Structure 1
């Protein structure tokens, strides 16, 4: 059986690490497959199979699975093993609504604390998203997209709330990817972050709030509102 390489991917460094480097690499690899739907909801995952796949110990795999469990991407149950978590519409809609509330309710704090370093970081992440879109790399785009929104919210200086947003982001992206066509409009997805930066630079609170709320609710600018009845019809 081929063993997957542990060579460090630049993407891995963008995903917050809570464990050893080796288990984190496995965590990111599995997160990617779950978010993209390669590992389908309810798929059974065994520590032995994954250890053989990655050429590591079951303890290393266990660390990665525990982190995925904390993110809500897998379900670990005593004596029943580990399964990829489902992605139900009602949960996704609730998380999208929560994400909108978290991000959009504190933009006055973001604008008050915004500086050139923040906008430079956001523009760098936008360029990285553009590159990922041109490469048709939806996961890389997703990681940079999440990093963009995490960095934007950091300016609100609400560190106890940030983990809530992180949880919402990963599940929102998974839901959007699983409910859209493969290689959805990736370049449009990247470019819709540009007006957010422009509104921030202009310190236009109303425009920033309107743009961000729309951005959160839809896949792309012309897409359906996933927080409304259209999303419910997919259930």
Structure 2
């Protein structure tokens, strides 16, 4: 179902609101993979997906290429397309890479956020709060990736943006797959509000520390989740 994100929240979780059919297929399949509806190793048949979404197989193929670039599927000329594996260690390594990327960006962005970007980030935070409160956990994760992606974009490290996005997608896939319970909306809002204010008025080291603490919390709470693995 299409959502008018701008009308509902004042902002979209995505960088653009393109209406190409392949976008619809891409976002639909991405959600199903991240929440665990499509399981690791499961084959994705282009013909069946084309029927399900009422589109041409070429449109499905375009969406699958994008999912392959995200690391969510593995494409093979002979065996077709399968959902990629999912494991704790890979998720942990990706979130550690994400931590280093965001700390580096924080040092570049601190005290330099344009007012318009700050306003958009506040809108995204409000959308995260609303979707978390309503139990729309996947949509909340989309807004979370938009929040961190927009902050990172201010650093000018454009070549690293796809890496950050891929790391964030896989962290959310590991933490959301099969999850049904809500997240704490107040906690989500407060943690991101602290990050935003440190980026806006803090020193480079204060901004880097804020994002580092946030990601350490995610590692401990969602990735390790009581295991004895060390970060």
Tell whether the structures are fold-level matches, with TM greater than 0.5: yes
Deviations 1:148-184 (A, max 9, x none): 00111111111112121111111111122238x4234
1:163 aligns with 2:177: no
1:150 aligns with 2:149: yes
Q: 1:20 to 1:116 in 2, by over 3 A?
A: closer
How many pairs were matched up?
224
Q: Is the 8 A contact 1:89 1:232 kept in 2?
A: no
Residue ranges of structure 1 left out of the alignment (5+ in a row): none
Aligned residue runs from structure 1 range 175-194, under 5 A: 175-178=174-177, 181-187=179-185, 188-194=187-193
Q: 1:50 to 1:92 in 2, by over 3 A?
A: same
Q: Is the 8 A contact 1:44 1:82 kept in 2?
A: yes
Structure 1 Cα separation of the partners of residues 77 and 4 of structure 2: 33
Q: 1:30 to 1:171 in 2, by over 3 A?
A: same
Higher normalized contact order (CA 8 Å, seq sep 6+, divided by chain length)? 2
Cα RMSD between the aligned structures? Answer: 2.7
Q: 1:175 to 1:73 in 2, by over 3 A?
A: same
Deviations 1:120-158 (A, max 9, x none): 111110011111112211111011100000111111111
The correspondence for 2:227, drawn from 198, 208, 230, is 230
Deviation at 1:44, TM superposition (A): 1.3
Aligned residue runs from structure 1 range 91-110, under 5 A: 91-110=90-109
TM-score by length of 2: 0.86
Aligned residue runs from structure 1 range 70-149, under 5 A: 70-149=69-148
Residue 217 of structure 2 corresponds to: 218
Residue 33 of structure 1 corresponds to: 32
Structure 2 Cα separation of the partners of residues 173 and 194 of structure 1: 20
TM-score by length of 1: 0.84
Deviation at 1:190, TM superposition (A): 3.8
Q: Quick check: 107-116 or 56-65, which moved more?
A: 107-116
Residue ranges of structure 2 left out of the alignment (5+ in a row): 7-11
Q: Is the 8 A contact 1:192 1:215 kept in 2?
A: yes
